[in-house]
Amino acid sequence: MDVDTDLREFFGMINRQKQVLLDAKSRKGECPRDRKSRDEMYLRFVVGCMASSAKRQEPQENMIHSSFMPAAYPPCTSSVSSLQSIMIKDLCLEIHHRGKLLLLRAITPPDRLTGIICLVEDEDEGVATLQIYQQDEETVRKATQIVDVGTILLVKEPYFKTMANGEYGLRVDHLSDLVEVDEDAAIVPQTWRLRRSGKGISADSLKLEGNAAIGQGDCWLAIKKYTNALKQQPTQQEAEIIKRNRSLALLRTGQYDAALSNSGFPSFGFSPPEKSLFRASEALYHLGKFAECCQVLEQLCVKYPANSEAPTSLARARRRLAEHSNGNIDFASLQTRAKRLYPPRMDHATYLGPVEIRDTNDLGRGVFVTKAVEAGELLFCEKAFSYAYVSEQYGRGNAGTKLLMNPETGRGFLGGQADLLQMIVQKLFKCPSIASSFTNLYHGSYMPIKAHEVDGESIVDTFLAERIISFNVFGCPHSSLQTHRDTMANKGSNKHKQHSCGIWTTASYINHSCLNNCHRTFIGDIMIVRATKDLNVNTELRFCYQLPTGKEDIGEHQETLQKGWEFTCTCTLCKSLEETPTSTFATRRKLFTQLSRICAGHTMNSIPMRKVERLLKSLSETYDRPASEVPRLALWDPQLMLARIYLAKKEHVKTLDALGKTLEALGFVCVGLEAALSTRFRVVKWGSLIDHVVEMFRSAHAAFRALGAIEDASIADGYARTAYRILVGEDSSYEATVAGYPVVG
């Protein structure tokens, strides 16, 4: 939603790749005889590495790293012991060798492109290129910590294919399909046992090696050392210490479930060690289990009063718990922190207000309000499940140059979204206890596998994750406050071309309507959802996935919804647009163009008001349904311009009249804006909310005040604040923002 999915400029590339895939498919099942020799492959690989290293050292601006998803295939769900060995020479093209297992040893260091690439050999000295995808970024885990010369790997149910450069290679898309093997594992041939393995070394020595690795910042190596130490039959006491140490390395590598169980949680025994309690609390915090985290930290504070970090951590966890339970949210401080943070990943908890996910009659699941709410009320405030940040100034984010295309579905992920896939797959793999909040999201017709675990590792289906992201991803600005200020300052907003994006697992259940009744805003990776109308209990919430501007052809709007989410919108606005004859659209466009030309060609003082009013009247007459039922989205803009001119000319009665018409065009029903001023100003029904609605109410405030209608002025200011709260997410910044409005400040 609101993500940049316009990949037209890449269509040529997608089509060429489609052709490559088709050509490859025609060789399906073929066992290629024209494989390159080991030496030739080695030479090509080294040259390729040198070229990519040179590119990394001198990155070109706007360089796009493109990659393609293969046709979806499920991850292996069989345990290693049930698979049969196969050799590289027996692999056939475009085949997933189900029931088979390939034992490999890396013969080159890795090269990192969009995936990690290296050359591998098998026991028969057959050589192939291995491409592994969805691994951690280099900044999180170096490619050499994943595979390096001598690393022994098992590829489960190997997928052999023609690669982009025309050579043949193995491609691994699912993390659990690749298993690193110890040199002393029974499956490893004697000739490969060259390095010093854990065998014969005491558990204590391996533990010390693990501690040293942590000291050097290599937590992945530390985990291996501790795991080997545990295989050397340590005493129970030793084993507890080793696990406790491993818990720290697991914490630092984001493996919070395993860190928690290695800490000894939940039964720490009669005398819980300080480190166990602390590590358990950290893991619980990162898993969002704030109540349990507080309990563990309270225990730690009582047992170890000298621990100086525990009270600070407890205070932090209690703040999260309060945010989570009561919606006790300090928005002003959130805004301040988001401004300084790059990427703006906020240390904050999710608050779910009066909302519930339920089945709808016709659109699968949806979100409903559990009590009556008023326009502006906070419904929920959700921390992202996963968030990929791309700076609006480019170059400051963690993404921006990747293009991941799926020729099979015709969908593509650009920039942040391509990063999001890798981040989510890693998170699901590392924290399986929270995976279902993501995997339960809508995924269209994709059929997921049933198994979740094999050989003690979680199974993550990369293609399911890709599909879920494409239906549920939200584009987002660094902060909606900045977007609002930019829009109001006429700096133009890139609202509809968001590169940062994320997944918010509650918001994802909200279905679409062009006439939405709730609105999402962002402060960094926090999404704030507020009601845009007064809602009765049990009303289903509706977001606008993609806002029709009212100027485009309805076909274009429906095509975007169909392409993005595979449905056709049947809301009153779409229905009315569909029923509008083409000739009416043409008249509307013509009148609109005339209006735009007049506005662009005149200053405020020289604008021919009568002509504009006449054109606006004719434009209104092209609509037949009342605006309260079907907003006239093409009309508010020129109508607001009139209101601005009247306000500038201090013609306050006309200002109020023009504002009434502007709000009406957006579907608002207001009373008390008429010349007589005999009725108290009131919004009877809220309409579509756009940033300028705040300006409209502020202008009404100014006009009422000038006319001496002080109470109406104050009511108008109240509405401006409510609209602002909905559009920005909070109103602590209201005064500072509206003071900067160009027209009415």
Ligand X SMILES: C[S@@+](CC[C@H](N)C(=O)[O-])C[C@H]1O[C@@H](n2cnc3c(N)ncnc32)[C@H](O)[C@@H]1O
Write out the two tokens for 629. Answer: 């039922």
Report how far Cα 293 is from the mean position of its chain's Cα atoms. Answer: 26
> Is the Cβ of residue 535 or residue 642 nearer to ligand X in the bound state?
535
Report how far Cα 109 is from the mean position of its chain's Cα atoms. Answer: 32
> Is the Cβ of residue 132 or residue 473 nearer to ligand X in the bound state?
473
Write out the two tokens for 511. Answer: 């279905």
CB of 461 to ligand X, least distance (A): 18
Write out the two tokens for 568. Answer: 């056709």
Write out the two tokens for 569. Answer: 């919108």
Measure the CA–CA gap between 348 and 387, rounded to whole angstroms: 14
Burial of 469 (0-12, 13-18, 19+ CB in 10 A): buried
Q: What number of CA atoms fall less than 13 Å from residue 694's CA on the CB side? A: 25
Measure the CA–CA gap between 96 and 76, rounded to whole angstroms: 10
CB of 7 to ligand X, least distance (A): 19
> Is the Cβ of residue 40 or residue 566 nearer to ligand X in the bound state?
566
> Is the Cβ of residue 66 or residue 511 nearer to ligand X in the bound state?
511
> Is the Cβ of residue 185 or residue 363 nearer to ligand X in the bound state?
363
Write out the two tokens for 260. Answer: 């928690």
CB of 42 to ligand X, least distance (A): 48
Measure the CA–CA gap between 297 and 313, rounded to whole angstroms: 7
Write out the two tokens for 744. Answer: 């009415």
CB of 364 to ligand X, least distance (A): 3
> Is the Cβ of residue 508 or residue 532 nearer to ligand X in the bound state?
508
> Is the Cβ of residue 214 or residue 441 nearer to ligand X in the bound state?
441
CB of 366 to ligand X, least distance (A): 6
User: 10 Å Cβ neighbour count for 328?
Assistant: 12
CB of 449 to ligand X, least distance (A): 19
Write out the two tokens for 456. Answer: 């003690």
CB of 569 to ligand X, least distance (A): 5
Residues in the chain: 745
> Is the Cβ of residue 295 or residue 409 nearer to ligand X in the bound state?
409
Decide if 351 contacts 324 (C-beta within 8 A). yes
CB of 633 to ligand X, least distance (A): 18
Measure the CA–CA gap between 465 and 422, rounded to whole angstroms: 9
> Is the Cβ of residue 280 or residue 573 nearer to ligand X in the bound state?
573
Measure the CA–CA gap between 670 and 686, rounded to whole angstroms: 8
CB of 32 to ligand X, least distance (A): 41
> Is the Cβ of residue 365 or residue 589 nearer to ligand X in the bound state?
365
> In Å, how far are 43, 511, 540 from 362, measured between CA atoms?
59, 11, 12
> Is the Cβ of residue 269 or residue 364 nearer to ligand X in the bound state?
364
> In Å, how far are 148, 329, 524, 551, 687 from 518, measured between CA atoms?
51, 19, 19, 23, 11
Determine the residue type at 694.
V
CB of 40 to ligand X, least distance (A): 48
Measure the CA–CA gap between 606 and 245, rounded to whole angstroms: 76
CB of 473 to ligand X, least distance (A): 9
Residue nearest to ligand X (CB): 364
> Is the Cβ of residue 166 or residue 364 nearer to ligand X in the bound state?
364
User: For the range 206-213, what are the long-range contacts, defined as Cβ-Cβ under 8 Å and sequence gap of 24 or more?
Assistant: 206/232, 207/234, 207/238, 207/241, 207/242, 207/245, 210/242, 210/245, 210/246, 210/249, 211/245, 213/249
* 3-state SS track over 568-613: CCCCHHHHHHHHCCHHHHHHHHHHHHHHHHHHHHCCCCCCCHHHHH
Phi, psi of 114 (to 5 degrees): -75, -25
**Which residues are CB-contacts of 571 (< 8 A; sequence separation ≥ 6)?**
513, 514, 515
> Is the Cβ of residue 326 or residue 360 nearer to ligand X in the bound state?
360
Q: Which residues bind ligand X (CB under 6 A)?
A: 363-366, 442, 471-472, 508-509, 511-513, 565-567, 569
CB of 22 to ligand X, least distance (A): 28
Measure the CA–CA gap between 12 and 20, rounded to whole angstroms: 12
> Is the Cβ of residue 471 or residue 741 nearer to ligand X in the bound state?
471
CB of 626 to ligand X, least distance (A): 22
> Is the Cβ of residue 453 or residue 566 nearer to ligand X in the bound state?
566
**Which residues are CB-contacts of 375 (< 8 A; sequence separation ≥ 6)?**
531, 532, 533, 534, 683, 686, 722, 726
> Is the Cβ of residue 390 or residue 541 nearer to ligand X in the bound state?
541
Q: Would you call 684 helix, strand, or coil by DSSP?
A: strand
| Helix then strand then coil, % of the chain, to nearest 5 | 45, 15, 40
Phi, psi of 580 (to 5 degrees): -70, 125
CB of 530 to ligand X, least distance (A): 19
Helix (DSSP H) and strand (DSSP E) numbers for the chain? 24, 28
> Is the Cβ of residue 272 or residue 502 nearer to ligand X in the bound state?
502
Decide if 476 contacts 497 (C-beta within 8 A). no
User: 10 Å Cβ neighbour count for 185?
Assistant: 15
